[in-house]
Structure 1
Amino acid sequence: MRSVVYTKPGDSSVLELVERSTPEPGPGEVRVRIVVSGVNPTDWKARQGGTYGDDLPFPEVTPNQDGAGVVDAVGEGVDGLSVGDRVWLYMSAAGRPTGTAQEYTVVPASRAVPLPEGTSFDIGASLGVPAMTAHRALTTHEDGPSRLAPGALSGKTVLVAGGAGAVGHAAIQLARWAGATVVTTISSEAKAALATAAGAHHVVNYRDDDAAAQIRGVAPDGVDIVVEVSIPKNAELVAEVLANHGVVSIYANNGGDEATLPVRPNMSVNARYQFLLLYTIGDEALTAAAEDVSAALRDGVLAVGEDAGLPLLRFALDDTAAAHDAVQGDAVGKVLIDVAAG
């Protein structure tokens, strides 16, 4: 089979396309024929050394956590999945040497989730890291739900920072599905159009001098949940618009590893700052996210494509390096790698 691998950390030039034997699933595992592989910032950061440092945990690594395809073989003891099932994958390369940038991959059965009928492989490959991160970000409020469903966030106002990104896009869709009023901050008219297409009720350019006033105009009592991509850049704005007992769910370090928080405004509203990383949130939270994301899919939520607010940028498997570079270069949209025909 064709597989993209790297044997040392570095820029995208360390990626190479090779031929490898098709793997066999062990007990509790399934083999999936990958149709589409999804690329996220975590993939290039891990490849570059941000996850493992200078020493890789395996002699050879195949990148990409997310993907979608068809179950091709089932290991002993697997229930609920059969050969021929269409699935989406999450955390395929977490603690394992092989991700989805190859024609076949083996994963624990729990990381292969059935795709509802009518859901495309493109949508399936766009879930994983973005949708499950968004789910966690929306379920950390001290008075909010731990699960998402229609009505779960009724009466809540959610502010999504960076609504044109993949996590922001999923957060908008999931929050609206769950009944929240959704405000998003963006930096341009083009990104405002994407966030609106995703379902945001209100868009605000965070560069406007009156951005806080615009958000307060929508939510006079403040926003309950902030899905935050860059707290170093947005700390002042967030502190101005947070509701009493509001939570700021921080899922990325865009803008740097250090932030300065204004104490008095946060103290006065009993603010909670919740950091989150998908790989360490635990099996209970992962299972809840996978189940709720699947429910949203069955309801027709989480569409992708320009009309849905998330343009698709497509690459071939032998152009995986270019796909990684596109994500690292902050390409607007979801980067997908076409591995095989569906």
Structure 2
Amino acid sequence: MRAITYNRFGPAQDVLTLEDLPVPSAGPGEVLVRLVTSGVNPSDIRARAGGRPGVTKPPFPKIIPHSDGAGIIEAVGEGVQAQRIGERVWIWNGQWQRAFGTAADYIAVPSDQAVPLAEHVSFEEGAVLGIPGLTACHAVLGGGSVEDKLVLVSGGAGTVGNLAIQVAAASGARVLATARGEDGLKAAKDAGAEQVFDYSDDNLAEKILDWTGGKLVERIVEVEFGKNVETSTRIIAERGTIAAYGSAKDMTPVMPFYPLMFKAVTIDLVLVYILSASHRQEAIGNLTALLDRKALDFRISEVLELEDCAKAHDIIAAGDRAGSVVLKI
């Protein structure tokens, strides 16, 4: 099979290689998926570049990158029902703590990591469900219903943020968002936010509270926890939740502990790779229900060929995109 591989950290053009590898077999409890698409995420770029704290070399001698993807089950291992053969599926955690991910013709994964993909959902969209889709669903709904609650989504023009706006709006919340630039503000508004604020505004907290008439926000979905924690502290309601899935601009943030404590704020650090089994099933169930309702619009900015994987990584690293990047296999 064709596969993109790397065996050392470095720039995408230098370390990513297209090569031919044996087709894997489905072991006990596994399915073999013929991949149609592979989703490319910022975490894939950090992993390939050696950007994870404390990691000095790749954890395996050879790695096929990417955790997300979609395709068709071609074979099943012992203990998996043969009826799954031919099923359209999307993949989660394809390359999490494993050597071989989705940037290849085939992948063998535990059966529960291949989730049925409805016929009306494209394979390109299926490649966005693993990390972005589950992160958005858990960050919005991981604490229960948000119906009639006031939710703020930080970075509403980003892939996860844009989906989070849609998830919250479709779940009955009143949604506010932050973004920047004309296109970013419009993207967040189009996703379902009632009002969108410029996140670079020095008076952001005042602007939000002025718009709400002083009503505090009950849940914040946060992409930049450290950079925004002062604003979040001012606008969060008592017993509110900050569900943070990133803090890249301040990786060692200092928190206003007592102001947060005296509001009894819950800080939920969202890492979708290690969700508990119950939380993952809940997130998959919520995501599936939203897909069945056709409530989500996936913004895909680039669909590239497998051999253009390095270009896809560079597009993600540049940060100037209006949607997900997907490889067609």
TM-score (norm 1): 0.90
Q: Is contact 2:142–2:279 with CA below 8 Å preserved after alignment?
A: no
Kindly indicate whether residue 43 of structure 2 is the aligned counterpart of residue 53 of structure 1: no
Kindly indicate whether residue 151 of structure 2 is the aligned counterpart of residue 158 of structure 1: yes
Deviation at 1:284, TM superposition (A): 1.8
Deviation at 1:196, TM superposition (A): 1.6
Deviation at 1:322, TM superposition (A): 1.1
SS at structure 2 position matched to 1:195: helix
Deviation at 1:81, TM superposition (A): 5.7
Letter in 2 for 1:33: R
Q: Is contact 2:142–2:283 with CA below 8 Å preserved after alignment?
A: no
Q: Which residue of 2 aligns with 1:29?
A: 30
Q: Which residue of 2 aligns with 1:117?
A: 119
Deviation at 1:278, TM superposition (A): 1.5
Q: Which residue of 2 aligns with 1:252?
A: 246
Q: Which residue of 2 aligns with 1:17?
A: 18
Which of 192-201 and 14-23 deviates more?
A: 192-201
SS at structure 1 position matched to 2:295: coil
Deviation at 1:80, TM superposition (A): 8.3
Deviation at 1:330, TM superposition (A): 1.1
SS at structure 1 position matched to 2:84: coil
Kindly indicate whether residue 178 of structure 2 is the aligned counterpart of residue 185 of structure 1: yes
Letter in 2 for 1:90: W
Deviations along 1:264-318, one digit per CA (max 9) or x if unpaired, are 53233222222121222222211221121111110102221xxxxx242122111
Q: Which residue of 2 aligns with 1:8?
A: 8
Looking at structure 2, the residues matched to 162 and 19 of structure 1 have their Cα atoms a distance apart, in angstroms, of 39
Looking at structure 1, the residues matched to 297 and 51 of structure 2 have their Cα atoms a distance apart, in angstroms, of 30
Kindly indicate whether residue 324 of structure 2 is the aligned counterpart of residue 334 of structure 1: yes
Looking at structure 1, the residues matched to 277 and 123 of structure 2 have their Cα atoms a distance apart, in angstroms, of 25
Kindly indicate whether residue 204 of structure 2 is the aligned counterpart of residue 211 of structure 1: yes
Q: Is contact 2:30–2:109 with CA below 8 Å preserved after alignment?
A: yes
Aligned length: 325
Looking at structure 1, the residues matched to 243 and 324 of structure 2 have their Cα atoms a distance apart, in angstroms, of 22
Q: Is contact 1:123–1:302 with CA below 8 Å preserved after alignment?
A: no
Q: Which residue of 1 aligns with 2:283?
A: 289
Q: Which residue of 2 aligns with 1:149?
A: none
| Cα distance, 1:219–1:265 mapped onto 2, change above 3 Å | farther
Q: Which residue of 2 aligns with 1:307?
A: none
Q: Is contact 1:157–1:219 with CA below 8 Å preserved after alignment?
A: no
Detail structure 1 runs of 4+ shifted over 4 Å in the superposition: none
SS at structure 1 position matched to 2:58: coil
Kindly indicate whether residue 313 of structure 2 is the aligned counterpart of residue 324 of structure 1: yes
| Cα distance, 1:226–1:196 mapped onto 2, change above 3 Å | same
Looking at structure 1, the residues matched to 328 and 232 of structure 2 have their Cα atoms a distance apart, in angstroms, of 39
| Cα distance, 1:57–1:120 mapped onto 2, change above 3 Å | same
Deviations along 1:174-209, one digit per CA (max 9) or x if unpaired, are 111111111110011110111122222221112224
Looking at structure 2, the residues matched to 110 and 45 of structure 1 have their Cα atoms a distance apart, in angstroms, of 26
Deviation at 1:163, TM superposition (A): 0.6
Runs (5+) with no aligned partner, structure 2 = none
Please point out which of 260, 270, 277 is paired with 2:271.
Answer: 277
Looking at structure 1, the residues matched to 83 and 263 of structure 2 have their Cα atoms a distance apart, in angstroms, of 47
Q: Which residue of 2 aligns with 1:75?
A: 77
Q: Is contact 1:140–1:274 with CA below 8 Å preserved after alignment?
A: no
| Cα distance, 1:107–1:297 mapped onto 2, change above 3 Å | same
| Cα distance, 1:28–1:159 mapped onto 2, change above 3 Å | same
Looking at structure 2, the residues matched to 320 and 215 of structure 1 have their Cα atoms a distance apart, in angstroms, of 41
Runs (5+) with no aligned partner, structure 1 = 146-151, 305-309
Deviation at 1:43, TM superposition (A): 0.5
Letter in 2 for 1:6: Y
Q: Is contact 1:158–1:175 with CA below 8 Å preserved after alignment?
A: yes
Q: For the aligned residues, what is the CA RMSD?
A: 1.7
Letter in 1 for 2:166: Q
Which aligned pairs between 1:37-48 and structure 2 lie closer than 5 A?
37-48=38-49
SS at structure 1 position matched to 2:252: coil
Looking at structure 2, the residues matched to 337 and 251 of structure 1 have their Cα atoms a distance apart, in angstroms, of 24
Looking at structure 1, the residues matched to 277 and 310 of structure 2 have their Cα atoms a distance apart, in angstroms, of 31
| Cα distance, 1:198–1:8 mapped onto 2, change above 3 Å | same
Give the percent of matched residue pairs that are identical in Structure 1 and Structure 2. Answer: 38
| Cα distance, 1:86–1:239 mapped onto 2, change above 3 Å | same
Deviations along 1:8-67, one digit per CA (max 9) or x if unpaired, are 122212110001111111111111111111111111111122348223332111000101
Which aligned pairs between 1:88-167 and structure 2 lie closer than 5 A?
88-141=90-143, 145=144, 152-167=145-160
| Cα distance, 1:245–1:140 mapped onto 2, change above 3 Å | farther
Looking at structure 1, the residues matched to 224 and 289 of structure 2 have their Cα atoms a distance apart, in angstroms, of 29
Q: Which residue of 2 aligns with 1:234?
A: 228
Q: Which residue of 1 aligns with 2:292?
A: 298
